[in-house]
Structure formats: C-alpha cells, structure tokens
Amino acid sequence: MRREFSDAIEKIALADEKVVFITGDLGYNALENLQEKLGNRFINAGVAEQNMVGLAAGMAYKGFKVFCYSIAPFIVYRCWEQFRNDVCLHNLPVFLVGNGGGYGYGIMGSSHHAIEDIAGLSSLQNVKCWVPAFADDVEPFVNQIVADGRPAYLRLGAGKQTPAHEGNFGSLKMVVKSDEAKGTIVALGPVANNVVAVLQQEEFANKFNLLTAQNVPLTINNEGLSLLQNTENLLVIEEHVSIGGLAQQLSVQLMENGITFKKFISLRAEGYPDGTYGDQNFHQTQSGLDAKNIADKLRLFV
C-alpha cells in the first residue's frame, strides 16, 4: 500500500500547502515523488522518531498538517510518549503512518513487528486509528484524516482491491454480502484478503457476510448493529493481539447493545508460540490467520 499512500499524499499536498511530510529516514523506492513535488515540505528527520513527532507537534501548533512516516513499530513504540503528550492531549493535526503493520516485516523479527499498536494508540485521547484492508482504501482514508484534522494513525500493509462495496455502517464496511448468511466475519486490516480467498471457494460462496473495520475506536450505526444482531455466528479476525484489539473493542459495543451469538470465535495474533521467526505467512499460520484455519472455523458455523 506504500505506492497508493504516496500517490494520495502527493495529490493532497499539491492541493493544500499546509500539508507537510516527515520521514524517519525510510521510504526509499516509494516516496521519491513526494520529495520532488513537496520541496521543503518534505523533511527527512533521520533515525530520530521522538524528535520527529516533537517537531511535527510544533509545526501543527503553527497551523500545518503533518504526516510522520516510518515502519509501524518505529513510529508507534519509539515515540508513544511524544505522541501522547505533545499531540493527542492538544488535539493537533499530526498523523502517524506506519508501514508493515502486524507481522508485515516477517523474518526481521519481533522488534520489527507491530501487533500491539492499535491497543496502545486507540486508547489515547482524541486519536483515531485507520487500518485499510485493501489498497483502494488508502486514498479515501488519507483524505478523511486530513479533513478531520485530529491526531491519527494510519496502519499500512499489503492488500488487493476491494472485491465489492455493499455499504458502510459507521466504522464497518461490508465487502461481501449474503442474503442467507450462516454467519458474519469482521476483519481488521489486510488479513481480510485471506478471508476473501476462502469465501471465493464453492463450499463457502454466498454463505457469509464479510465486514472490515476501517477505523477504531469503533462506531457502529443502528443498521450495522441490526445486521450483527440478526447473525447467529460471528468470527472476528485481526493481525493484532487480543488485548485492546478489534474483538475486545467490538465485544464491548455488542454487550452494551445486548447482542449475543450462538458461536463467537476470535482469531488474532498469538505472538511467538515457539519462539521462532519467519515470513508473514509463517506467523499468520502459527496464529491461525491463514486461509486453511479460517475455512475450518467457518465450517463450525455451517
């Protein structure tokens, strides 16, 4: 999604001279167009994420809208305090952008993974976390982040194009619809692509709804709550730990609205069960986020 993100930033920055882009010495072979088009509004802050966010907060206080870019674990964990104190508590338009969310950086190991990022950032004051599941989500998310003008986190990964768009229900976007659903799946981020692959199999075709959670903290309108209420079974899937993740945040809203299910299954990042590292597919398989395990869980609903 880096290319889609770079193209979206170029469009919005050329239309709005108050947009500034700061990179933490990352983005090669993806951001050169921004460096050329933005001129002195493109800043390389070096390997100094804390300073980068402090600089961004100062610029935002003076009226700029500032994107801070790095890989997800660096932009989230290294400068969490600066983002909390300098940006969120003052409700400033500083937007963190983390590439390679979840297990995206695979074999580079746990120091390069971001599987607790949503829990940490979505708990802060005034912030909204945006998690595109598909490549074509990126541009509208960037546009909305700038329009909102509030602290934000954009978690990028690798995704295909949205298979369909059947409607929005607040934070939830329906991408696969079934008139006689045996269950509903709610997915966070590009792991939704694994679900799409399963639902294209003849065994599961036209049997499940698929919703993606576009942002958290979640907002679900009455139509979305009604859809969930009329579903006997629910599967939540996310490349994020269970604490503070989608399933936990969604569960609070479901309980507050008295919505229960015959079966509720949560698939999430399980960390490092045997202490070994591999590529993203390896970690997804260890956590049961792969297509085979998703299919096994859906058979329980049928």
* Burial classification of residue 275, based on how many CB atoms lie within 10 Å of its CB (0-12 exposed, 13-18 middle, 19 or more buried): exposed
Assigned domain for 148 exists: yes
pLDDT of residue 36: 85
CATH number for position 175 = 3.40.50.920
Strand order in the sheet with 152-156: 42-44, 19-23, 65-71, 94-99, 152-156, 128-130, 215-216
Residue written as token pair 């919505």: 259
On whether both 197 and 152 belong to a single domain, the answer is: no
CATH number at residue 113: 3.40.50.970
Give the predicted TM-score (pTM) of the model. 0.95
| Residue 162 resides in a domain | no
Domain shared by 137 and 191, yes or no: no
pLDDT digits over 191-244, tens only?
A: 999 999 999 999 999 999 999 999 999 999 999 999 999 999 999 999 999 999
Residues 177 and 152 in one domain: no
What confidence category does residue 55 fall into, taking pLDDT thresholds of 50, 70 and 90? Answer: very high
* Structural domain for 216, as ranges: 167-301
pLDDT, residue 56, reads 97
For the chain, the domain total comes to 2
Q: Based on the fold, state whether residues 146 and 242 are members of the same structural domain.
A: no
Strand partners, 234: 184, 264
Residues 19 and 149 in one domain: yes
Could you tell me if 173 and 152 lie in one domain? no
Q: Do 141 and 171 lie in a common domain?
A: no
Q: What is the rounded distance in angstroms from the CA atom of residue 18 to the CA atom of residue 54? A: 17
Q: Are residues 131 and 238 in the same domain?
A: no
Task: Kindly report the backbone phi and psi dihedral angles of residue 263, in degrees, each rounded to the nearest multiple of 5, phi listed first.
Answer: -135, 135
Asked if residue 27 has pLDDT above 80, the reply is no
- Asked if 70 and 201 sit in the same domain, the reply is no
Boundary (domain end) residue, out of 136, 156, 176: 156
C-alpha count within 13 angstroms, C-beta hemisphere, residue 221: 9
Same structural domain for residues 118 and 209?
Answer: no
